[in-house]
Amino acid sequence: MEKPPVEVLITIPLAEDLLERLQSVSPRLKINQHITRRAEEISAEVWQRTEVLYTDVVLPDVTLVPNLRWIQFHWAGIEYVLESTLAKKPELTMTTLSGAAAPQMAEFILMMMLALGHRLPDLTVNQAKTEWPRDRWERFVPLELRGSTVGIIGYGSIGRELARLLRPFDVKALAVKRNLMDPYDHGYAIEGLGDPDGDLFTRLYPIQALQSVLKECDFVVVTLPLTAETRDIIGADELAAMKSSAYLIDACRGTVVNEEALLTALQEHKIAGAALDVFADEPLPPASPFWKLPNVFITPHISGISPAYDERAVALFGENIKRYLSGEKLFNKFDPEPGY
Protein backbone atom coordinates (compact mmCIF):
# COMPACT_ATOMS: atom_id res chain seq x y z
CA MET A 1 0.00 0.00 0.00
CA GLU A 2 1.39 3.39 -1.02
CA LYS A 3 2.16 5.69 1.89
CA PRO A 4 0.46 9.11 1.91
CA PRO A 5 2.37 12.29 1.06
CA VAL A 6 3.86 14.47 3.79
CA GLU A 7 3.02 18.16 3.47
CA VAL A 8 5.99 20.30 4.50
CA LEU A 9 5.64 24.07 4.92
CA ILE A 10 8.79 26.20 5.01
CA THR A 11 8.38 29.85 6.05
CA ILE A 12 11.97 31.09 5.72
CA PRO A 13 13.94 31.86 2.54
CA LEU A 14 16.03 28.87 1.50
CA ALA A 15 17.98 28.74 -1.75
CA GLU A 16 16.58 26.59 -4.54
CA ASP A 17 19.43 24.08 -4.35
CA LEU A 18 18.75 23.57 -0.64
CA LEU A 19 15.04 23.02 -1.30
CA GLU A 20 15.99 20.48 -3.97
CA ARG A 21 18.24 18.74 -1.48
CA LEU A 22 15.36 18.42 0.94
CA GLN A 23 13.02 17.19 -1.77
CA SER A 24 15.53 14.50 -2.74
CA VAL A 25 15.16 12.90 0.70
CA SER A 26 11.89 11.27 -0.31
CA PRO A 27 9.29 11.43 -3.10
CA ARG A 28 6.65 11.44 -0.35
CA LEU A 29 7.52 15.03 0.54
CA LYS A 30 5.38 17.86 -0.80
CA ILE A 31 7.38 20.97 0.01
CA ASN A 32 5.65 24.33 0.03
CA GLN A 33 7.76 27.44 0.69
CA HIS A 34 5.86 30.52 1.82
CA ILE A 35 8.28 33.18 2.99
CA THR A 36 6.74 35.24 5.79
CA ARG A 37 7.08 36.20 9.42
CA ARG A 38 3.34 36.37 10.07
CA ALA A 39 1.10 33.32 10.45
CA GLU A 40 -1.95 35.18 9.15
CA GLU A 41 -0.31 35.61 5.74
CA ILE A 42 -0.63 31.87 5.15
CA SER A 43 -4.05 30.60 4.10
CA ALA A 44 -6.18 28.41 6.34
CA GLU A 45 -6.12 25.73 3.63
CA VAL A 46 -2.31 25.53 3.72
CA TRP A 47 -2.23 25.43 7.50
CA GLN A 48 -4.86 22.69 7.57
CA ARG A 49 -2.93 20.30 5.39
CA THR A 50 0.54 21.02 6.85
CA GLU A 51 2.07 18.06 8.66
CA VAL A 52 5.64 19.34 9.05
CA LEU A 53 6.52 22.99 9.63
CA TYR A 54 10.02 24.45 9.22
CA THR A 55 10.09 27.96 10.65
CA ASP A 56 11.85 30.53 12.77
CA VAL A 57 9.08 32.41 14.57
CA VAL A 58 5.91 31.81 12.55
CA LEU A 59 3.56 29.96 14.90
CA PRO A 60 -0.12 29.58 14.01
CA ASP A 61 -2.89 29.16 16.54
CA VAL A 62 -3.31 25.53 17.44
CA THR A 63 -6.85 25.48 16.01
CA LEU A 64 -5.54 26.14 12.48
CA VAL A 65 -3.24 23.10 12.27
CA PRO A 66 -5.15 19.88 13.02
CA ASN A 67 -2.68 17.79 11.01
CA LEU A 68 0.54 19.36 12.28
CA ARG A 69 2.77 16.69 13.81
CA TRP A 70 6.24 18.21 13.86
CA ILE A 71 7.88 21.65 13.92
CA GLN A 72 11.57 21.95 13.05
CA PHE A 73 12.79 25.35 14.19
CA HIS A 74 15.49 27.31 12.38
CA TRP A 75 17.17 28.31 15.67
CA ALA A 76 18.66 26.53 18.68
CA GLY A 77 17.05 28.75 21.32
CA ILE A 78 13.25 28.62 21.11
CA GLU A 79 12.09 29.62 24.59
CA TYR A 80 9.48 31.86 22.92
CA VAL A 81 7.50 28.77 21.82
CA LEU A 82 6.27 28.30 25.39
CA GLU A 83 4.02 31.33 24.90
CA SER A 84 2.31 29.71 21.90
CA THR A 85 -0.87 27.65 22.00
CA LEU A 86 1.10 24.99 20.11
CA ALA A 87 3.17 24.26 23.22
CA LYS A 88 0.32 22.18 24.61
CA LYS A 89 -0.79 20.48 21.39
CA PRO A 90 -0.94 16.69 22.01
CA GLU A 91 1.47 14.57 19.99
CA LEU A 92 3.23 17.59 18.50
CA THR A 93 7.00 17.18 18.34
CA MET A 94 9.24 20.25 18.28
CA THR A 95 12.93 20.11 17.44
CA THR A 96 15.64 22.76 17.49
CA LEU A 97 18.63 23.48 15.32
CA SER A 98 21.10 22.89 18.14
CA GLY A 99 24.44 21.94 16.63
CA ALA A 100 24.09 23.85 13.36
CA ALA A 101 25.59 27.03 14.83
CA ALA A 102 28.21 25.31 16.97
CA PRO A 103 31.20 25.72 14.59
CA GLN A 104 30.94 29.48 14.14
CA MET A 105 29.94 30.19 17.74
CA ALA A 106 32.84 28.16 19.13
CA GLU A 107 35.21 30.05 16.81
CA PHE A 108 33.72 33.36 17.97
CA ILE A 109 34.22 32.43 21.61
CA LEU A 110 37.79 31.30 20.99
CA MET A 111 38.50 34.58 19.20
CA MET A 112 37.16 36.57 22.14
CA MET A 113 39.15 34.58 24.67
CA LEU A 114 42.36 35.29 22.77
CA ALA A 115 41.44 38.94 22.21
CA LEU A 116 40.63 39.58 25.86
CA GLY A 117 43.61 37.66 27.16
CA HIS A 118 45.95 39.56 24.87
CA ARG A 119 44.51 42.94 25.86
CA LEU A 120 43.02 43.80 22.48
CA PRO A 121 40.51 46.31 23.94
CA ASP A 122 43.38 48.24 25.54
CA LEU A 123 45.46 47.99 22.37
CA THR A 124 42.60 49.37 20.30
CA VAL A 125 42.24 52.36 22.61
CA ASN A 126 45.99 52.87 22.51
CA GLN A 127 45.96 52.85 18.70
CA ALA A 128 43.20 55.48 18.64
CA LYS A 129 45.44 57.67 20.82
CA THR A 130 48.39 57.13 18.43
CA GLU A 131 50.60 56.26 21.39
CA TRP A 132 53.66 54.07 21.71
CA PRO A 133 53.61 53.81 25.53
CA ARG A 134 56.83 53.52 27.48
CA ASP A 135 55.18 51.07 29.89
CA ARG A 136 53.91 48.74 27.15
CA TRP A 137 55.62 45.70 28.68
CA GLU A 138 53.63 46.15 31.88
CA ARG A 139 50.41 47.53 30.41
CA PHE A 140 49.89 44.87 27.76
CA VAL A 141 51.18 41.76 29.46
CA PRO A 142 48.77 39.01 28.33
CA LEU A 143 46.82 36.34 30.12
CA GLU A 144 47.79 33.46 27.87
CA LEU A 145 45.16 30.95 26.90
CA ARG A 146 47.71 28.17 26.91
CA GLY A 147 47.75 26.43 30.25
CA SER A 148 44.83 28.44 31.60
CA THR A 149 41.65 27.15 33.24
CA VAL A 150 38.46 27.57 31.21
CA GLY A 151 34.99 27.11 32.64
CA ILE A 152 32.39 26.04 30.08
CA ILE A 153 29.07 26.78 31.75
CA GLY A 154 26.63 24.71 29.71
CA TYR A 155 28.05 21.69 27.93
CA GLY A 156 25.80 21.53 24.89
CA SER A 157 26.79 21.59 21.23
CA ILE A 158 28.63 24.93 21.47
CA GLY A 159 30.48 24.06 24.66
CA ARG A 160 31.51 20.68 23.24
CA GLU A 161 32.87 22.20 20.04
CA LEU A 162 34.74 24.82 22.09
CA ALA A 163 36.29 22.04 24.17
CA ARG A 164 37.52 20.43 20.95
CA LEU A 165 39.04 23.69 19.69
CA LEU A 166 40.79 24.25 23.02
CA ARG A 167 42.63 20.93 22.97
CA PRO A 168 45.82 22.29 21.29
CA PHE A 169 46.05 25.02 23.94
CA ASP A 170 46.47 22.50 26.75
CA VAL A 171 43.87 24.18 28.93
CA LYS A 172 42.14 22.76 31.96
CA ALA A 173 38.52 22.60 30.79
CA LEU A 174 35.93 22.56 33.58
CA ALA A 175 32.52 21.73 32.15
CA VAL A 176 29.21 22.35 33.91
CA LYS A 177 26.32 20.14 32.88
CA ARG A 178 22.82 19.45 34.17
CA ASN A 179 23.05 15.65 34.03
CA LEU A 180 26.43 14.29 35.12
CA MET A 181 25.32 10.68 34.72
CA ASP A 182 25.12 11.03 30.94
CA PRO A 183 28.18 12.76 29.42
CA TYR A 184 27.33 11.69 25.86
CA ASP A 185 25.92 14.06 23.25
CA HIS A 186 22.55 12.77 22.06
CA GLY A 187 21.81 15.82 19.93
CA TYR A 188 22.82 16.57 16.38
CA ALA A 189 26.54 17.07 15.75
CA ILE A 190 28.44 17.66 12.53
CA GLU A 191 30.73 14.73 11.89
CA GLY A 192 34.21 15.28 13.30
CA LEU A 193 33.17 18.22 15.46
CA GLY A 194 32.17 18.56 19.09
CA ASP A 195 32.60 16.04 21.88
CA PRO A 196 30.13 13.23 21.18
CA ASP A 197 31.60 10.88 23.81
CA GLY A 198 31.97 13.51 26.53
CA ASP A 199 35.68 13.01 27.16
CA LEU A 200 37.29 16.31 26.10
CA PHE A 201 36.86 18.13 29.41
CA THR A 202 39.22 17.87 32.36
CA ARG A 203 36.43 17.66 34.94
CA LEU A 204 32.65 17.68 34.85
CA TYR A 205 30.57 19.49 37.48
CA PRO A 206 26.88 19.77 38.29
CA ILE A 207 25.25 23.19 38.09
CA GLN A 208 25.04 23.20 41.91
CA ALA A 209 28.85 23.47 42.00
CA LEU A 210 28.91 26.57 39.79
CA GLN A 211 30.62 28.88 42.29
CA SER A 212 33.31 26.30 43.00
CA VAL A 213 34.07 26.15 39.29
CA LEU A 214 34.12 29.92 38.87
CA LYS A 215 36.76 30.32 41.58
CA GLU A 216 39.25 28.33 39.52
CA CYS A 217 38.71 29.87 36.09
CA ASP A 218 40.77 32.32 34.07
CA PHE A 219 38.06 32.39 31.40
CA VAL A 220 34.35 31.76 32.00
CA VAL A 221 32.27 30.92 28.94
CA VAL A 222 28.48 30.95 29.32
CA THR A 223 26.61 28.82 26.77
CA LEU A 224 23.50 27.89 28.75
CA PRO A 225 20.00 27.87 27.24
CA LEU A 226 17.55 30.38 28.67
CA THR A 227 15.10 28.66 31.00
CA ALA A 228 13.35 29.48 34.24
CA GLU A 229 16.26 27.83 36.07
CA THR A 230 19.06 29.59 34.19
CA ARG A 231 17.66 33.14 34.20
CA ASP A 232 20.11 35.32 36.20
CA ILE A 233 22.07 32.21 37.16
CA ILE A 234 25.27 34.27 36.91
CA GLY A 235 24.59 36.97 39.47
CA ALA A 236 26.47 39.03 42.04
CA ASP A 237 27.55 36.06 44.14
CA GLU A 238 28.82 34.13 41.13
CA LEU A 239 30.71 37.11 39.75
CA ALA A 240 32.22 37.70 43.20
CA ALA A 241 33.49 34.14 43.14
CA MET A 242 35.52 34.81 39.98
CA LYS A 243 39.16 35.86 40.02
CA SER A 244 39.76 39.58 39.57
CA SER A 245 42.00 38.61 36.64
CA ALA A 246 39.34 36.47 34.94
CA TYR A 247 37.30 37.21 31.83
CA LEU A 248 33.67 36.35 31.04
CA ILE A 249 32.34 35.52 27.57
CA ASP A 250 28.56 35.48 27.15
CA ALA A 251 27.14 34.21 23.85
CA CYS A 252 23.89 32.54 24.91
CA ARG A 253 20.93 34.69 26.01
CA GLY A 254 21.00 38.13 27.59
CA THR A 255 19.21 37.31 30.83
CA VAL A 256 21.29 34.29 31.81
CA VAL A 257 23.89 36.70 33.22
CA ASN A 258 22.41 39.37 35.48
CA GLU A 259 23.34 42.59 33.70
CA GLU A 260 23.17 44.87 36.74
CA ALA A 261 25.54 42.62 38.67
CA LEU A 262 27.84 42.29 35.66
CA LEU A 263 27.97 46.03 35.10
CA THR A 264 28.98 46.58 38.72
CA ALA A 265 31.63 43.86 38.55
CA LEU A 266 33.13 45.42 35.41
CA GLN A 267 32.98 49.01 36.63
CA GLU A 268 34.60 48.09 39.94
CA HIS A 269 37.16 45.81 38.26
CA LYS A 270 36.02 42.78 40.23
CA ILE A 271 36.66 40.86 37.02
CA ALA A 272 39.14 41.82 34.32
CA GLY A 273 36.72 42.15 31.42
CA ALA A 274 34.05 40.57 29.26
CA ALA A 275 32.93 39.83 25.73
CA LEU A 276 29.16 40.26 25.41
CA ASP A 277 27.20 39.22 22.33
CA VAL A 278 23.77 39.16 23.99
CA PHE A 279 21.73 41.50 26.17
CA ALA A 280 18.34 41.50 27.85
CA ASP A 281 17.31 44.52 25.77
CA GLU A 282 18.31 44.23 22.11
CA PRO A 283 19.37 46.32 20.31
CA LEU A 284 21.45 47.55 23.22
CA PRO A 285 20.30 51.17 23.83
CA PRO A 286 22.89 53.87 22.98
CA ALA A 287 22.61 55.15 26.56
CA SER A 288 23.68 51.82 28.06
CA PRO A 289 26.81 52.22 30.24
CA PHE A 290 28.16 48.96 28.78
CA TRP A 291 29.14 50.81 25.61
CA LYS A 292 31.67 52.97 27.41
CA LEU A 293 33.42 50.29 29.43
CA PRO A 294 37.06 50.02 28.28
CA ASN A 295 37.36 46.38 29.37
CA VAL A 296 34.43 45.07 27.32
CA PHE A 297 33.87 43.84 23.78
CA ILE A 298 30.29 44.41 22.61
CA THR A 299 28.99 42.63 19.52
CA PRO A 300 25.39 42.84 18.21
CA HIS A 301 24.25 39.23 18.72
CA ILE A 302 26.20 37.96 15.71
CA SER A 303 28.16 35.02 17.13
CA GLY A 304 25.89 32.53 15.37
CA ILE A 305 26.04 34.16 11.94
CA SER A 306 27.67 32.12 9.18
CA PRO A 307 27.39 31.94 5.39
CA ALA A 308 27.14 28.18 5.89
CA TYR A 309 24.26 28.33 8.39
CA ASP A 310 21.44 27.52 5.98
CA GLU A 311 23.40 24.63 4.50
CA ARG A 312 24.06 23.23 7.97
CA ALA A 313 20.43 23.80 8.88
CA VAL A 314 19.21 21.86 5.85
CA ALA A 315 21.64 19.04 6.59
CA LEU A 316 20.15 18.69 10.08
CA PHE A 317 16.57 19.06 8.84
CA GLY A 318 17.23 16.46 6.16
CA GLU A 319 18.51 13.96 8.71
CA ASN A 320 15.46 14.58 10.88
CA ILE A 321 13.13 14.13 7.89
CA LYS A 322 14.68 10.72 7.23
CA ARG A 323 14.13 9.81 10.86
CA TYR A 324 10.57 11.13 10.82
CA LEU A 325 9.64 9.09 7.76
CA SER A 326 11.13 5.92 9.23
CA GLY A 327 9.63 6.45 12.69
CA GLU A 328 13.00 6.98 14.43
CA LYS A 329 13.71 9.39 17.27
CA LEU A 330 14.39 12.91 16.02
CA PHE A 331 17.48 14.93 16.86
CA ASN A 332 17.16 17.86 19.29
CA LYS A 333 13.67 17.24 20.59
CA PHE A 334 12.48 20.24 22.60
CA ASP A 335 11.22 19.46 26.10
CA PRO A 336 8.91 22.20 27.47
CA GLU A 337 9.53 21.05 31.06
CA PRO A 338 13.20 22.15 31.35
CA GLY A 339 12.71 24.60 28.49
CA TYR A 340 15.23 23.32 25.94
The partner residues of 52 in beta bridges, in order of sequence, read 8, 70
pTM of the model: 0.94
Whether residue 54 is found in the same domain as residue 198: no
- C-alpha closest to that of 6 among 64, 67, 51, 65: 51
Following CA atoms 315, 31, 7, 49 in sequence, which dihedral angle do they give, to the nearest 10 degrees?
140
Residues 236 and 161 in one domain: yes
Displacement of CA 85 from its chain's centroid (Å): 25
Where residue 195 falls among pLDDT bands split at 50, 70, 90?
very high
**148 and 213 part of one domain:** yes
Please write the tens of the pLDDT for every residue from 131-166.
Answer: 999 999 999 999 999 999 999 999 999 999 999 999
Do 286 and 321 lie in a common domain?
no
Q: How confident is the model at residue 36 (pLDDT cuts 50, 70, 90)?
A: very high
Say whether pLDDT at 72 is over 70. yes
Rounded to whole angstroms, what are the CA distances from 149 to 68, 111, 138, 275? 47, 16, 23, 17
What is the signed CA dihedral for 146, 152, 158, 163, rounded to 10 degrees? 40
Identify whether 148 is part of a domain: yes
144 and 28 housed in the same domain: no
Do 135 and 29 lie in one domain? The reply is no
Is residue 236 in a domain?
yes
Q: Is residue 335 part of a domain?
A: no
* 24-51 CB burial, b ≥16 within 10 A, e <16: ebbeebebeeeeeeebeebeeeebebbb
Q: Is the pLDDT of residue 122 over 70?
A: yes
CATH number at residue 130: 3.40.50.720
Q: Answer whether residue 276 is part of any domain.
A: yes
**Shared-domain flag, residues 123 and 230:** yes
- Examine the pLDDT at 52 and tell me if it is beyond 70: yes
Residues 131 and 236 grouped into a single domain: yes
Peptide bond into 283 cis (omega under 30): yes
Specify whether 252 is located in the same domain as 194.
yes
pLDDT reading at 127 higher than 90: yes
Whether 340 maps to a domain, the answer reads: no
Residues 162 and 282 grouped into a single domain: yes
- Dihedral angle computed from the Cα positions of residues 79, 85, 87 and 88, in that order, rounded to the nearest 10 degrees: 150
Is residue 279 in some structural domain? yes
Catalytic residues: 253, 282, 301
Share of the chain above pLDDT 70, in %: 100
178 with 207: CB under 8 angstroms?
yes
The domain total for the chain is 2
In a domain, 1, yes or no: no
**If you average pLDDT over residues 112-123, what whole number do you get?**
96
Residue 68 within any structural domain of the chain: yes
Interval 5-29: pLDDT, tens = 999 999 999 999 999 999 999 999 9
Could you tell me the pLDDT band of residue 181, with boundaries at 50, 70 and 90?
confident
Q: Are residues 25 and 74 in the same domain?
A: yes
- Say yes or no: 129 and 206 in one domain: yes
Calpha distance 309→306 (Å, rounded): 5
Domain that holds residue 72: 6-100+307-326
Distance of CA 281 to the CA centre of its chain: 17
